[in-house]
Amino acid sequence: MLANIIHKDKTYHIDLSKALDISLSLRGDAKNPVAWYLGAPVIEPVKDGDFIGKVSEGAAVNFNNVKFNPHAHGTHTECVGHISLEFHSINQTLKNFFFTAKLISVEPESWLEDFVITEEILRKHFQKDEAEALVIRTSPNYIEKRSRKYSNTNWPYLTEDGAIYLRNCGVQHLLIDLPSVDKEKDGGKLLAHKAFWNYPKNTRFDATITELVYVPNSIGDGNYLLNLQIASFENDAAPSKPVLYKI
């Protein structure tokens, strides 16, 4: 299905039948990706006395409880409320859902005991005002990312200068295939989060960060239209489903 999407007085021609989903689904088993030292999410039928909410157990419907953490168990989009003293809800922050986007693939470089995505790396792939959203795919890009256990792995991260560069380039929505844009154990500094949101001096309340996406190698680097949808949670973060459309 072909469609003309008018966004900021410019018309984009896209095929709605060719959606490129870059989200990770939530599973109630050990195959689900996990970060931040938690166990797997739980999806199980409600039990109340003799009642079990499962058709195969005699119920009329399947009726499951779901227990998970948005930050630890899958693709999620967060607002500055993730790090601010004051409460800010992603559901109240994100009011538009289509954005121009660029997908880039980067190879983090070794620095001391870490692997980092620096300003220098980003300058090679992205320039000022290229797009409203930036999707970062890190190399190597193995399919095991879909079920990886990230706790205590010291994953690659975005440096403070890299985050400042993206902010100055006009990136409003940053998406990355890691559990966090920051170092796993940084003593609570959260330098990349704070730099991207420009918190607390001149906070960008309308900017978002989406983490734990997964971009298959079959999707090429380049320009897309991004549809960023979230679950309607009144929380600092919510499960999300970013979808790319080739322009």
Domain locations in the chain as residue ranges: 2-24+70-246
pLDDT for residue 1: 78
143 DSSP 8-state letter: G
Do the Cβ atoms of 22 and 135 come closer than 8 Å? Answer: yes
The secondary structure of 199-220 as a DSSP string is: TTTS--TT-EEEES----TTSP
- Lowest-pLDDT range of 2-6, 24-28, 124-128, 148-152: 2-6
Cβ-based neighbour number of residue 66 at 10 Å: 10
Between CA 61 and CA 30 the distance in angstroms is 25
Three-class DSSP category at 42: strand
55 pLDDT exceeds 90? yes
Give me the pLDDT at residue 139, please: 97
| Gap between the Cα atoms of 199 and 88, Å rounded | 13
33 pLDDT above the threshold of 90: yes
pLDDT at 161 over 90: yes
User: Which CATH code, of 3.50.30.50, 3.20.20.70, 3.30.70.120, 3.90.79.10, is assigned to 2-24+70-246?
Assistant: 3.50.30.50
What's the pLDDT at 8? 84
User: Rounded distance, CA 247 to CA 133, Å?
Assistant: 14
